[in-house]
Amino acid sequence: MNAKIADRIATAVFYLIAAFIIILLAGLLGYIVLRGISHINWHFITSPPQAVQAGGGIGPQLFNSFYLLILTMVISIPLSLGAGIYMAEYAKKNAFTSILRTAIEVLSSLPSIVVGLFGFLFFVIYMGWGFSILSGALALTVFNLPLMVRVVEDSIRAIPETQREAGLALGVSRWETIKHVLIPAAVPGIVTGIVLASGRVFGEAAALIYTAGMSSPILDFTNWNPFNPSSPLNPLRPAETLAVHIWKINGEGLMPDVAAVSSGASALLVIVILIFNISARYIGKLLYKRMTSS
């Protein structure tokens, strides 16, 4: 076969595969969003759900999702930064680091339901925290940490070696070089990874069923004391998230408008995750331009 003809055939096949993937994703996302966007309004976003009556919303579940996301990121980001810096700059090639990298790979490939069962056994039962936001956040930290460690490590390793040598040549210590040279240069990649991980956490359900629970108490949004049992910021209260709520009402919902609530909640969840992913690309490009222009 002529080389030019083979090249054109291969190019056409790759374009067809790309078009198929785009059409499949657009069709799936479009179906979910178009089916549910008509049910999204301010009342739906802010009002609590109803057990057997129509007209309920997803207000507490949406708040729980964002609160759980923030708490998870507060725990995950310092740990991933420390582990990523160690793996990129301090870890030597030996048996220990090989085992550590293998452990990270294994953790990153674990199904979320397995992480949820681990969180149930350790955080909920052994630690005695019960079904709570804290148990869910720690389980999601275990679930998300391998991805974020790899993002931090790759972002730091991608920095040219000349920048490290320049800092050391000026007599700056290794830690000062990491703090003032490497981390600022790696910020675009790190921020992009954090935003992508946030979208992954926001849409998680399986791990939270066994840790954060499938119910949410009546919240007093006038009381922001985290030590008050009815406070929205109380980390030891159960917290049904938006993704868990969608799973729950589709399986056992009794309200007459269960299809509308499920469609609206699913559309809102997809829209928020799309915003996370688009924001990751935009923030990454913006930070990269600022770093390269300065």
Read off the pLDDT of residues 275-284 as tens digits, 9 standing for 90 and up. Answer: 888 887 787 7
pLDDT (tens digit, 9 = 90+) per residue, 67-110? 999 999 999 999 999 989 988 888 888 888 888 888 888 888 88
* Distance between CA atoms of residues 67 and 137, nearest Å: 9
Instruction: Kindly report, residue by residue over 173-187, the tens digit of the pLDDT.
Output: 788 888 888 888 888
Q: Is the pTM of this model over 0.75?
A: yes
Average pLDDT over residues 59-69: 92
pLDDT in tens, 239-268: 999 999 999 988 887 888 888 899 999 999
Whole-number Å distance between alpha carbons of 17 and 23: 10
* Dist. CA 23–CA 281, nearest whole Å: 21
Enumerate residues 6+ apart whose C-beta is below 8 A from 167. 176, 177, 180, 181
When pLDDT is cut at 50, 70 and 90, the band that residue 291 belongs to is low
pLDDT band at 211 (very low <50, low <70, confident <90, very high): very high
CATH assignment of 40-293, given 1.20.1630.10, 3.30.300.180, 3.30.1280.10, 1.10.3720.10? 1.10.3720.10
Give 152-163 pLDDT, tens digit per residue.
988 888 888 887
Please list, residue by residue across 11-44, b when 16 or more beta carbons sit within 10 angstroms of its beta carbon and e when fewer do.
eeeeeeeeeeeeeeeeeeeeebbebbeebbeeeb
How far apart are the C-alpha atoms of 184 and 190, rounded to whole Å? 10
66 pLDDT tier (thresholds 50, 70, 90)? very high
The pLDDT score that the predictor gives to residue 292 is: 62
Q: What is the DSSP string of the chain?
A: --HHHHHHHHHHHHHHHHHHHHHHHHHHHHHHHHHHGGG--HHHHHSPP-SSSSS---HHHHHHHHHHHHHHHHHHHHHHHHHHHIIIII--SSHHHHHHHHHHHHHHTS-HHHHHHHHIIIIIIIS---SSHHHHHHHHHHHHHHHHHHHHHHHHHTS-HHHHHHHHHTT--HHHHIIIIIHHHHHHHHHHHHHHHHHHHHT--HHHHTTT-S--PPP-TT---TTSTT-TT-TTS----HHHHHHHHHHH--STTHHHHHHHHHHHHHHHHHHHHHHHHHHHHHHHHHHHH-
Domain borders along the chain are 40-293
288 vs 152: CA distance, rounded Å: 15
Comparing C-alpha atoms, which of 218, 245, 246, 243 is closest to residue 232? 218
User: In whole angstroms, what is the distance from residue 240 CA to residue 209 CA?
Assistant: 8
